[in-house]
Chains A and B, each alone.
Chain A
Amino acid sequence: MPQYANIAVSILFDGLAYAMFLFITSVGLSVTMGLMNFVNLAHGAFAMVGGYIVVSLTRSYGVGFIPSLIIAAVLVALISVRFERRLYRRFYRATDLEQVLLTIGLAFMAIATFTYFYGPIPKSVPLPDWLQGSVNLGFRSFPAYRVFMIAVGAALIAVLWYGFERTNIGAMIRAAVDNRRMAESIGINVDRLFTLTFALGSGLAALGGGLAIQLLGLNPNFALLYLVLFLIVVAVGGLGSLKGTLLAALVLGIIDTAGKYLLADAGGFFIYAVTVIVLLIKPAGFYGRE
């Protein structure tokens, strides 16, 4: 295979794996922001907590990697429900600024707590054999872990698409995102719906955090470091849009990877440049409502 084609395939492949991480982690944020207009800067902290639960389970309790991911997602979903019920709910009608301050305060506290208990050094997880090494896909071989991430991402996209577009609850969520008052007036309990999607979104974030350990490394600063990326995906995709979040994750994931491959010095410049251009042309994002 010629050199440039090889690089192009690598970029597409790594970009796809990265995009899956972005999608899994951001999709919950997008739906909750679309539903309640709540700016949740602690979303990255939920992903970080999920990552550390996976680390603890696999390293201290010898639980397998895959079961740990599932347990982490469920635990974080449970914890997030309590946060939503006790704290967030008071701030739905608050201003943007108050929401930003409250949730960034939570993120700081989470980072400090986890630095205290786990230390600032990045953690890694022991992977099962079949996730190490590489997989040959006919024309060339790829790292097994990235193949796995893309598979998980694709499966989740299918499940979420079905849930969103084909089930009753999905229809209710779409209705509430479109017009909250109207949805309430025809008897949809938007508050409960929100708690449900909040739990789902935080659980997915935790899953994304667990999956990211191998890909990006995990230290307590994860909560803020990648938060900016999640927010960008949400803003570029459009609040509350599954399709938009997926498209934004793909575009940004692949562009960021390409930038890092081809122009290592430029670092994250391209992802922000694309964000600015998209938002200037479509301030509500790809599929957002103006």
Chain B
Amino acid sequence: MAVSDKSAALATAGARERAAHYLVSRHRFRPAEALPWLLAIAAFFLFPDRMTFGNQALIMVMFALSLDLILGYAGIVSLGHAAFFGVGAYTVGLLIARLGWSEPLSSLVAAAAMAGLTGFVTGWFILRYRGLTVIMLTLATAIMLQEAGNLRSDISGGYDGLPGLVISPLFGVFDYDLYGHVNYLYVLGVLAVIFYIVRRIVYSPFGQALTGIRENVRRMNAIGSPVHRRLVTVYTISAAIAGIAGALFTQTNAYVTLTVFDFDNSAKVMVMLILGGTGRLYGAFIGAVVYMVLEDHLSKLSPTFWQFGIGLLLILAVLFAPRGLLGLAEDVVRRDRPRREARARRLVFKREDWNALTVSALDGAMIGFIAGFAVNFGQTDLMSEYITSLPGRVLVFAGFGAVIAASINVVYLALTRRVAAEDRVP
């Protein structure tokens, strides 16, 4: 008895020491962290003619970073983060167009203040709730701002926006060139400052408390943590950063329209963050850049395919890489050998797997069958080359549906064993 107590105490002390060591040391700068910054500087020299694209990418990185602060660290699911991006963008736009104030850095401060204020006021109300209510209220915030802008289109310029905004030279010296070289360095510099602040926040005790709220809000309440105050604080900071991203957006493009408040904008930044990985700082970098590059290439090919691709990407991310590309990379680097071997060993088709496979093939065939009937209308020329008769088309579609559904099932089986296990549960 006494011995086990003693060893337990020792173990606790050891664990405490490890925990303390972890907390103290984890904010230390790691050499690998220099990589994205070096790449960003390298991009400046390697792709001098793609600086406009680089600018947009860096701005989206900052936007995704601000979302990471509330979504990845505090666990607030927001479908209206574009609200703050838009407030920032319009603060700069209105300062130039209506007041003639075009000095870039002070505009940034003004944008951060306005967006932060919006975040504080809305967050103070919204963050008392959780789940669906928060999702709906954040969504409504962005749309209300958009509608308010539309209502006073005499000020905001409505959906035509505020075009042709001229920004004063940076520090009164560096003028913006047509190719966006000065602008790229300017945005990169602002991003570096913002990133340093965010990094300090997430590794601080305050950041630790946010993670606690994300993981278990009841326990945080129980140990006396001021949950609401902390959430409102981080929401305000995040809103201010999103506002700065929006301000840079206006300064870079020299125009702003009400589409910055679009639901698409909120959804896009979330997709980027999920793709890169939430709650891990550099997820915003990887996600935004990968997304922007993919979009740049694929949406030129066909916007429809690109939209399909985003949808597929989201589903695949949720199913197979819930921790994003960074999480996936971590798994590969760490080479969890025993688990991998075990997984490979278990990849034997059992009877219920075959059953599941059959059922999913039938599902696919059914949906394909219905689609075969439906597709008749619309772009008929697209189909007529291959299949003109209705029975032929229906059969081909059913066959395709079955094959696609079955292969999805096989991929799913190969990557996880959850299919058979869960289907057995009534």
Closest to B72 in A: A97
On whether A235 and B133 interact (CB within 8 A), knowing A96-B77, A98-B322, A108-B310, the answer reads yes
Instruction: Verify B133–A115 contact, CB threshold 8 A.
Output: no
- 1/0 contact string of A30-41 vs chain B (CB within 8 Å): 000100010100
Closest to A113 in B: B308
CB neighbours (8 Å) of B422 from chain A are: 89-90
Q: Which residues of chain B from 242 to 282 have any CB-CB distance to chain A below 8 Å in the complex?
A: 263, 267, 270, 274
Asked if B311 is at the interface (CB within 8 A of a chain A CB), the reply is yes
Instruction: Verify B378–A98 contact, CB threshold 8 A.
Output: no
Determine how close the nearest CB of chain A comes to the CB of B309; give it in whole angstroms: 8
In Å, the complex CA distance between A89 and B267 comes to: 24
| Most-contacted residue by chain A among B132, B139, B143, B310 (CB, 10 A) | B132
Asked if A47 is at the interface (CB within 8 A of a chain B CB), the reply is no
CB neighbours (8 Å) of B378 from chain A are: 117-119
- 1/0 contact string of A60-89 vs chain B (CB within 8 Å): 110000000000000100110010001001
Instruction: Verify B144–A269 contact, CB threshold 8 A.
Output: yes
Instruction: Verify B132–A272 contact, CB threshold 8 A.
Output: no
Instruction: Verify B307–A108 contact, CB threshold 8 A.
Output: yes
In Å, the complex CA distance between A110 and B314 comes to: 13
On whether A279 and B317 interact (CB within 8 A), knowing A97-B71, A101-B274, A119-B378, the answer reads no
In Å, the complex CA distance between A283 and B129 comes to: 7
CB neighbours (8 Å) of A108 from chain B are: 307-308, 310-311, 314
The answer, among B139, B151, B307, B367, for a CB contact under 8 Å with A115, is B307
Determine how close the nearest CB of chain A comes to the CB of B343; give it in whole angstroms: 18
Instruction: Verify A268–B132 contact, CB threshold 8 A.
Output: no
Instruction: Verify A56–B373 contact, CB threshold 8 A.
Output: yes
Instruction: Verify B367–A284 contact, CB threshold 8 A.
Output: no
Determine how close the nearest CB of chain B comes to the CB of A51; give it in whole angstroms: 11
Determine how close the nearest CB of chain A comes to the CB of B156; give it in whole angstroms: 12
Closest to A39 in B: B132
Determine how close the nearest CB of chain A comes to the CB of B408; give it in whole angstroms: 9
Per DSSP, chain B at the interface is helix
Number of interface residues of A (CB under 8 A): 61
CB neighbours (8 Å) of B382 from chain A are: 117
Instruction: Verify A111–B307 contact, CB threshold 8 A.
Output: yes
In Å, the complex CA distance between A228 and B418 comes to: 32
Instruction: Verify A97–B77 contact, CB threshold 8 A.
Output: yes
In Å, the complex CA distance between A112 and B418 comes to: 29
Asked if B168 is at the interface (CB within 8 A of a chain A CB), the reply is no
The answer, among A52, A75, A106, A112, for a CB contact under 8 Å with B315, is A106
Instruction: Verify B132–A228 contact, CB threshold 8 A.
Output: no
CB neighbours (8 Å) of B141 from chain A are: 276
Determine how close the nearest CB of chain A comes to the CB of B373; give it in whole angstroms: 7
CB neighbours (8 Å) of A75 from chain B are: 370
Instruction: Verify A101–B151 contact, CB threshold 8 A.
Output: no
Determine how close the nearest CB of chain A comes to the CB of B194; give it in whole angstroms: 24
In Å, the complex CA distance between A86 and B374 comes to: 23
Determine how close the nearest CB of chain A comes to the CB of B67; give it in whole angstroms: 12
CB neighbours (8 Å) of B366 from chain A are: 78-79, 82
Determine how close the nearest CB of chain B comes to the CB of A99; give it in whole angstroms: 9
The answer, among A60, A189, A276, for a CB contact under 8 Å with B137, is A276
Determine how close the nearest CB of chain A comes to the CB of B335; give it in whole angstroms: 26
Asked if A267 is at the interface (CB within 8 A of a chain B CB), the reply is yes
Instruction: Verify B374–A56 contact, CB threshold 8 A.
Output: yes
Instruction: Verify B136–A96 contact, CB threshold 8 A.
Output: no
Determine how close the nearest CB of chain B comes to the CB of A275; give it in whole angstroms: 5
Asked if A4 is at the interface (CB within 8 A of a chain B CB), the reply is no
The answer, among A53, A59, A117, A276, for a CB contact under 8 Å with B140, is A276
- 1/0 contact string of B109-132 vs chain A (CB within 8 Å): 000000000000000010011011
- Would you give 10 A-B contacts (Cβ < 8 Å), ordered by A? A56-B374, A61-B373, A101-B270, A101-B317, A101-B318, A105-B310, A117-B379, A235-B133, A267-B150, A283-B129
Given contacts A117-B379, A231-B136, 10 further A-B contacts (CB under 8 A): A33-B132, A59-B377, A86-B359, A90-B422, A105-B312, A109-B311, A112-B307, A228-B143, A235-B132, A276-B137
